[in-house]
Amino acid sequence: MQVSSTWSPPSGTLGTLVAAAVDRVTALQPQRAAIERAAAAAPVPPSFVAVLEGVTLAIIAEIKRRSPSKGDIAPDLRAPDRAQDYVAGGAAALSILTEPDRFGGSLADLRAVARTVSVPVLRKDFLIDPLQLLEARACGASSALLIVRALAPRHLVAMVASARAAGLEPLVEVRDERELDRALAADARMIGVNNRDLETLHVDPTTAGRIIPRIPSDVIAVAESGVTGRRDAEAAAAFGANAVLVGSALSVAPDAVAAVRALTGVARADRGSRGP
242 is catalytic: no
Q: Does residue 6 belong to any structural domain of this protein?
A: no
CB atoms within 10 A of CB 90: 17
Domain membership of residue 275 (yes or no) is: no
Catalytic status, residue 70? no
Closest by CA position to 59, among listed 82, 98, 81, 89: 89
Confirm whether 177 is a catalytic residue.
no
pLDDT of residue 271: 86
| Mean pLDDT score, 98-126 | 97
Task: Please check whether residue 266 lies inside any domain of the structure.
Answer: no
Closest CA to 151 of 170, 176, 127: 127
Residue 99 known to be catalytic: no
DSSP helix/strand/coil, 268: coil
Q: Does the active-site annotation cover 273? A: no
Domain CATH number, residue 87: 3.20.20.70
Q: Is there a catalytic annotation at residue 234?
A: no
Exposed/middle/buried for 274, CB within 10 Å: 0-12, 13-18, 19+?
exposed
Q: Is 194 a catalytic residue?
A: yes
In a domain, 38, yes or no: yes
Which of 64, 95, 143, 162 is the catalytic position?
64
Give me the pLDDT at residue 107, please.
Answer: 97
Label residue 274 by pLDDT band (50, 70, 90): very low
Mean pLDDT of the chain: 94
Residue 275 pLDDT level (bands cut at 50, 70, 90): very low
Catalytic choice (194, 195, 248, 251): 194
Query: What's the total number of domains in the chain?
Result: 1
Which of 225, 242, 248, 251 is the catalytic position?
225
Q: Is residue 270 part of a domain?
A: no
Strand blocks (E) in the chain: 58-63, 66-67, 71-72, 93-97, 121-124, 143-147, 171-174, 190-194, 220-224, 243-246
Q: Are 245 and 60 in contact (CB under 8 A)?
A: yes
Select which of 224, 242, 248, 251 is catalytic.
224
Please report whether residue 272 resides in a domain. no
What are the tens digits of pLDDT across the range 155-189? 999 999 999 999 999 999 999 999 999 999 999 99
CA distance 245 to 226: 9
Per-residue HEC secondary structure of 255-267 comes to CHHHHHHCCCCCE
In tens, the pLDDT along 66-83 reads 999 889 999 999 999 999
Give me the pLDDT at residue 20, please. 97
| Domain assignment present for 112 | yes
Does a structural domain hold residue 64?
Answer: yes
Full residue range of the structural domain in which residue 144 is found: 12-42+50-261
